[in-house]
């Protein structure tokens, strides 16, 4: 048997072990990235193969916690993919304004930069006060960072450029203050934000949403899991609710292809055209 075939079996066994022992289900994640992270983790912990991870994972909860951290994606930035925010502001916010209250689910929010991004734009459009934002992730450590809203100052120049490209109207610095090497976001931005642990692979619907944001999460899933999660989003949305995905994600060739219509040129904001929420 070729070495890469053996390694493929090792990865499957590892994911099965994690699921059986801890209930975290990575079996339907896009394999290449999980494999890369497993290899890196094994190497960084001084182990020679992926299968050597398995006994450690089974007996050592702390070790598992470290692996989960490795597996969960926390790469994000303020106003990442600014044109999608601009489209939201131009095409979705005017409709949201017509509702007496709005519920937004930001699924897979990681360290929260994009939650603050959304909150700022909602404020500028006079929508924030009637909004509730549910910001969820399965990584508790990332959620803690999100709750604090303190980020490194290093990338602020790029983020400010993104913010302007996203159609932000006043100075971004109105929403944070800088201290040492950090920027600290205004507490008022999270007044209507509920941060909560939610795992898209295993947890269900928890509310009736007007907008679901989930950017650069689905790319980490295989087709099966993508369909499952897209159905979850579809069932969570009210009739005519909106779904906003990452710039390289699409509902084309998925289960929900016919349940949404595309409303922007970039094909990443979709409007639900069937049924009401199945909550």
Partner 1 sequence: MSDYSAIVMGMSAGGMEVLINIFLNLDKSFPLPVIIVQHLHPMHKSELPDILRRYTAMEVLEASEKCVVEPGKIYLAPADYHLLVERDATISLSNDEKVNYSRPSIDLLFESAAYVWGDKLIGILFTGANNDGAEGIKAIKKYGGLTIAENPDTAEYSAMPGSAVDTGCVDLIYSKEEIKLYLEKLSVDKL
Binding site for partner 1 (CB under 8 A): 2-4, 7-8, 30-33, 35-36, 73, 75, 216, 219-220, 223, 246, 248-250, 253
Per residue, what are the HEC states of 37-68?
HHHHHHHHCCCCCCCCHHHHHHHCHHHHHHHH
Residue with smaller CB distance to partner 1, 17 or 73: 73
CB of 161 to partner 1, least distance (A): 8
CB of 4 to partner 1, least distance (A): 5
Beta-carbon contacts of 155 under 8 Å, excluding residues fewer than 6 positions away, are: 77, 78
Distance of closest approach, residue 32 Cβ to partner 1, in angstroms: 4
Of 32 and 62, which CB lies nearer to partner 1 in the complex structure?
32
The alpha carbon of 184 is separated from its chain's Cα centroid by a whole number of angstroms, namely 21
d(CA 251, CA 239): 17
**SS3 of residue 256 by DSSP:** coil
Residue 165 neighbours by CB under 8 Å, 6+ apart: 79, 82, 83, 86
In the complex with partner 1, which residue's Cβ is closer, 152 or 253? Answer: 253
Query: C-beta of 159: minimal distance to partner 1 in Å?
Result: 12
* Smallest distance, partner 1 to C-beta of residue 7, A: 7
Toward partner 1, which CB reaches closer, 7 or 208?
Answer: 7
By C-beta, is 15 or 238 nearer to partner 1?
15
Quick one: CA torsion of 134, 137, 139, 143, rounded to 10 degrees?
A: -30
């Amino acid at each position: 048997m070729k070495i890469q075939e053996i390694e493929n079996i090792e990865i499957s066994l590892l994911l099965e072990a994690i699921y059986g022992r801890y209930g975290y289900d990575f079996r339907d994640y896009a394999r290449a990235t999980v494999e890369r992270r497993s290899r890196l983790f094994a190497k960084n912990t001084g182990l020679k193969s992926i299968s050597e991870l398995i006994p450690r994972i089974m007996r050592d909860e702390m070790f598992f916690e470290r692996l989960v951290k490795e597996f969960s994606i926390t790469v994000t930035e303020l106003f990442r993919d600014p044109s999608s925010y601009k489209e939201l502001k131009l095409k979705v916010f005017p409709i949201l304004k017509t509702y007496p209250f709005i519920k937004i689910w930001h699924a897979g929010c990681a360290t929260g930069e994009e939650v603050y991004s959304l909150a700022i734009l909602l404020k500028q459009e006079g929508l924030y006060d009637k909004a509730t934002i549910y910001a969820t992730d399965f990584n508790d450590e990332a959620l803690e960072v999100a709750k604090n809203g303190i980020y490194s100052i290093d990338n602020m120049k790029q983020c400010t450029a993104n913010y302007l490209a996203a159609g932000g109207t006043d100075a971004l610095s109105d929403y944070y203050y800088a201290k040492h090497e950090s920027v600290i976001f205004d507490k008022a931005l999270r007044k209507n934000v509920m941060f909560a642990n939610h795992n898209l692979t295993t947890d269900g619907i928890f509310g009736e949403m007007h907008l679901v944001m989930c950017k650069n999460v689905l790319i980490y899933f295989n087709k099966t899991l993508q369909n499952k999660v897209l159905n979850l989003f579809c069932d969570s949305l009210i009739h005519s609710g909106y779904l906003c995905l990452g710039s390289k994600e699409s509902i084309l060739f998925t289960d929900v292809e016919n349940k949404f219509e595309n409303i922007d040129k970039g094909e990443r904001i979709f409007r639900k055209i069937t049924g009401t929420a199945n909550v």
